[in-house]
Amino acid sequence: MKQRLRSATRRFAAIATAGAMVAAGLVAGGPVQAADTNLIANGGFEDGLANWFANNGNATDRATLSPTTDAYSGSSAVLVTNRATTGSGPMQDLSGKVQAGQTYSLSARIKYENADGPATKQFFATMHYGGATYTNLVSATATKGQWAQFNGRFTIPAGQNVSTARLFFETPWTSNPSADPSFHLMDFKLDDVSVVGAPPPPPPSKTIEVVGKLPGEHNPLIGHKFGADGFGFVHNGRVYMYMTNDTQGYAPDPATGISPAINYGNINQITLISSDDLVNWTDHGEIQVAGPNGAAPFTGNSWAPGMAKKVVNGKEKFFLYYANGGGSTNVITGESPLGPWTSERTSTLIDGRTPGAEDVAWKFDPAPLVDEDGEAYLYFGGGPASTSMPPAERFNNPKNLRAIKLGDDMVSTQGSAAAVDAPVAFEAGHVFKREGKYYFSYSSHFGGNDFGGNQQRLPGYPGGGQIGYMISDNPMSWPKETYAGVLFPNQSQFFGTGTGGNNHQSAFEFEGKYYFTYHAPTLNKRITGNNTQGYRSPHIQELTFNPDGTIQQVVGTYAGAAQVRNFDPYRVFEAETLGWSKGIATAKVDGASAQFGGSAPNLVVRDIDNGDWTALSSVDFGDGAQSLTAKVRPLVAGGKIELRLDDVAAPVVAAIPVDAPIGEWTELTTQIEGVAGVHDVYFTYAGPDGADLFEIDSWAFEPAPRLHVSAVAGTRCVGGKVMVTVQVTNDEAVHVSASATSEYGSTPFGAVPPGKQKYRSFPTDAADVPAGEVTVSASATVDGESLPASLKAPYDARSCGR
């Protein structure tokens, strides 16, 4: 996705358009519209440079913005210096605010004072609609040393795409402004900017109303938003999944529910989820990586993330690598897997200056690897093969991927990048290590002119859109002889029509098993059918190996990976932890995360309507739950939270009327009876139709009080006969009454003193007994409450024969 330079033809046409607007009476002196919404934020620069940045529409655009007290009104204006092009000026993003077909009034004040500049100079207020589409809106001719005024109206054409709309101020275009910088690139000051007109349209709802992840299935990982290019990262018993934020451009039509196709050029956020069981995933929201308000504002996009951690100067740090579009790769640094995030760099990490990467068309898709010895590597690249190669080689061995060593600081590179000779390679390189071997996986290309045209594929090489892999003893050496086969066929083979295209994958080890991540537009398909629009969702499958270390080809399934452990409900946990869901969305709010701490972002479940629900998989209540507490903010009266087990339509076992003050966060608790063992848990939401009911921040279950008593059974031989024994231990501070029952009878323990043990035995009169169990019943009064307990103590088979 390359930005085309603005052309002289385009500029003159735009100037002519502006002239036509003047002739039609649409510029100076036109009346202000009745709708008096000002779409400009901080137009008087009283908040410094907030909401403003230097135009970066082309790679050559560059300027320095700084506050100045020489203002037309108020105490501050903006000073623009170090302009590299005529278009280098202050810019504000109006995407989502202006509408096609609407007319707006624009006003601003501008002044220049350059001693060598002309006596008068024309300036333009210009809108950049993305790509090479620029339109001059209103002009002003300023006299040197005096404030001049922009004052005019403009109408956005009814057919104009306004998904990108960025307003900036500039001097008239010329192809070589540096030839006379005093005339073309003078410093100037800007103040009191306003664009008044129709208020911004309400943003389209991104809430996914269908059940996108079906109960019982584990793929896609989440059903309430999209995410692509997933990179699995394990830290402290938890898997973090970093993804390209496909949801950022999702804008379904209110009538049809179908969104326009995905626009990768607008994505500048990374979506993050995490889980400790691979089925119930917590939504941590989006990391604002690129763009004016990003951690690295000198970059414009954030695709295909990769994550690594390393101790640097005695401190554990986390490094999030990402693609800045197709042309470069960058990295930001975090204090934890959840951030907060900062940039230690002021320019991109991988770009055209990187040694050994000059011939790489797409310097993106970064994948880091930190080896056991602390050495770190970065894998990147993709795109068309070099045209200097013969067509057959361009097709089969395009050599478009690279490996390079990272510096000790993880934010610099060392030496030259080495070519990875991956067969039929396209993009999405990734490396993991297992039993001393390095595994490199990648996505294969689809052929075409970029890869030599119609060429014969070598036997065994990947087909189009498949994941191939290689095995090497050296993380920097990947000759074609290390190719090992196809790891994963194209996802459309498993998920059907509408789910094809290229893929992006990672692999990670978690609690003794390896897992493979990939994406597929399965959620998009469930929303719109077979005609998908490119919105992708994360998936995980277990990765298994043959005895020789090769990988067993992965089969994509909706079933996904098995749940690693049952969910522990007896703690405060985030409400945006989701096994399955219907109709809800999530959003960041102020304050600390109850589960992850003050430095972690805090999200809530929102956009909750009557009939919506969220659910958790395999929740272990043990001996039983006593209560459920929800931190909730009512939005209307009459809302209710209902608790159901194992099915969304199952009977209600507990309910929380959400009857707290409207708009205020509060904790509401309900008592629970008869909920024990392992269950899928459904929180269903009820209330007035047509209204957002409430928001939920967190859940917490409280276990029912229980006796702290344990029992152990066993067997021994006495006179050639088996004796079944049982031992009861009382860990309470009071006496406990207990009795035991087995296949061979019952026996009382009497009162077991605090902190003591008692033994009982059952003669069997048999030389051989099968395995069995002893049931122990106990009771005591603790803190005035009578508590019963029933324990099962198994024993093994025993033979006492000679």
Tell me the backbone φ, ψ of residue 265, rounded to 5 degrees.
Answer: -65, -20
Token representation of residue 8: 């002289």
Number of Cβ within a 10 Å radius of residue 159: 7
Whole-Å CA distances, 616 to 242, 504, 568, 797: 22, 28, 10, 38
d(CA 538, CA 220): 6
Q: Report yes or no: 662 and 635 within 8 Å, Cβ to Cβ.
A: yes
Q: Pull the structure tokens for residue 802.
A: 């000679």
The two structure tokens encoding residue 56: 């970066």
Residue 376: C-alpha distances to residues 276, 475, 582 (Å): 26, 10, 42
Strands (E), 295-354: 303-312, 315-324, 328-334, 341-342
Amino acid making up residue 67: P
Rounded Cα–Cα distance for residues 180 and 173 (Å): 13
Residues, the chain: 802
What SS3 state is found at 264?
A: helix
**Phi-psi category of residue 447: left, alpha or beta, with phi > 0 → left and psi -120 to 50 → alpha:** left
Cα gap 476→317, rounded to integer Å: 24
Q: Where are the beta strands (DSSP E) in 704-764?
A: 709-718, 721-730, 736-742, 745-752, 757-763
The pair of structure tokens assigned to 3 is 């930005």
- Decide if 524 contacts 544 (C-beta within 8 A): no
Q: Of 339, 369, 348, give the one whose Cα is nearest residue 233.
A: 369
Under 8 Å between Cβ of 184 and 105:
no
Phi then psi dihedrals of residue 585, to 5 deg: -135, 175
Q: Which amino acid is present at 155?
A: T
Helix (H) or strand (E) holding 574: strand 572-574
Please identify every residue annotated as catalytic.
229, 427
Residues with Cβ < 8 Å from 328, sequence gap 6 or more?
299, 348, 349, 350, 351, 352, 363, 364
Cβ–Cβ < 8 Å for 232, 241: yes
Expressed in percent and rounded to 5, the helix, strand and coil fractions of the chain are 5, 45, 50
> Where does 24-66 have alpha helices with state H?
none
**SS3 state of residue 23:** helix
Class of residue 558 by CB neighbours under 10 A (exposed 0-12, middle 13-18, buried 19+): middle
**Interatomic CA distance for residues 743 and 766, integer angstroms:** 13
Q: What is the DSSP letter of 203?
A: P
d(CA 46, CA 574): 39
Which letter does DSSP use for residue 30 in this model?
P
